[in-house]
Amino acid sequence: MSIFILLLFSQFEFYCLTDTIVSIPVDSFGNFKFFLKNTSNHREVYELKAIPYQSPQNWFYLLCVKGRCVQVPDPFFDTLNPNEIDTSISLSCYPNGSPGNGIICFKVKVLSDTTLRDSQFLYISTTGIKEFNNQRIKSLSKEDYYSPFGSLLNKITHKGIYFKRKENRFYKVIILK
């Protein structure tokens, strides 16, 4: 009598649903979305981890799965049943006003067999604030202005940097007096 032992290796599909290269303003967010599918015959737990290889020091990253989030580089564990798909996985980057470039390695591995793993490199660059002209404004218009933090201002009371929205674009306005 012979006994056969069949080892079932966990399998999965993993890829980025968005472009892996983004160029964003320094005051905006970069967001990557992912697809993960358990192609094995049993329930699996996956470790998801984003590791910044190159990044300005004050950039902020957040990894979210199924409505729960962790700060990078903390790992996140996602459990999937056979043939279950998870498209709720996202990695967001906020440059926090600092220009620069970032390279992040997003890794996934199966905890039941850590030799089964995959990774995706993500690239982020900032574009900064574009100035379109040098015109002097003699008087302020009655239009709404925005603070550098994005809050709507109905009235400007002191000098500083503000933004004006026109046709879905923001323009920088510097008040000197």
Q: What is the 3-state secondary structure (H, E, C) of 116-138?
A: EEEEEEEEEEECCCCCCCCCCCC
132, two tokens: 């379109």
Distances in Å between the Cα of 51 and the Cα atoms of 56, 71, 103 are 13, 11, 9
Handedness of CA 107, 73, 55, 33 (dihedral sign): positive
Residues 118 and 137 in one domain: no
> Within a domain: residue 7?
no
Residues 102 and 172 in one domain: no
Q: Which CATH number fits the domain that encloses residue 40?
A: 2.60.40.3880
> Within a domain: residue 5?
no
CA dihedral 134→140→141→145, nearest 10 degrees, is 80
Residues 35 and 111 in one domain: yes
Distance of CA 27 to the CA centre of its chain: 13
Residues 32 and 119 in one domain: yes
> Within a domain: residue 135?
yes
- For the chain, residues with pLDDT lower than 70 are 1-10, 128-143, 146-151, 154-155, 157, 165-171, 175-177
| Boundary (domain end) residue, out of 126, 144, 168 | 126
Which pTM was predicted?
0.64
Domain housing 23: 12-126
> What pLDDT score does 8 carry?
47
> Within a domain: residue 177?
yes
Contact between residue 85 and residue 65 where contact means Cβ atoms under 8 Å apart: no
- Number of structural domains found in the chain: 2
> What pLDDT score does 25 carry?
87
> Within a domain: residue 137?
yes
Residues 104 and 33 in one domain: yes
123, two tokens: 């690239």
Residues 24 and 93 in one domain: yes
> What pLDDT score does 85 carry?
94
> Within a domain: residue 3?
no
> What pLDDT score does 82 carry?
93
Residues 36 and 78 in one domain: yes
Residues 52 and 121 in one domain: yes
Q: Is 61 left (phi over 0), alpha (psi -120 to 50) or beta?
A: beta
122, two tokens: 């993500």
Residues 135 and 120 in one domain: no
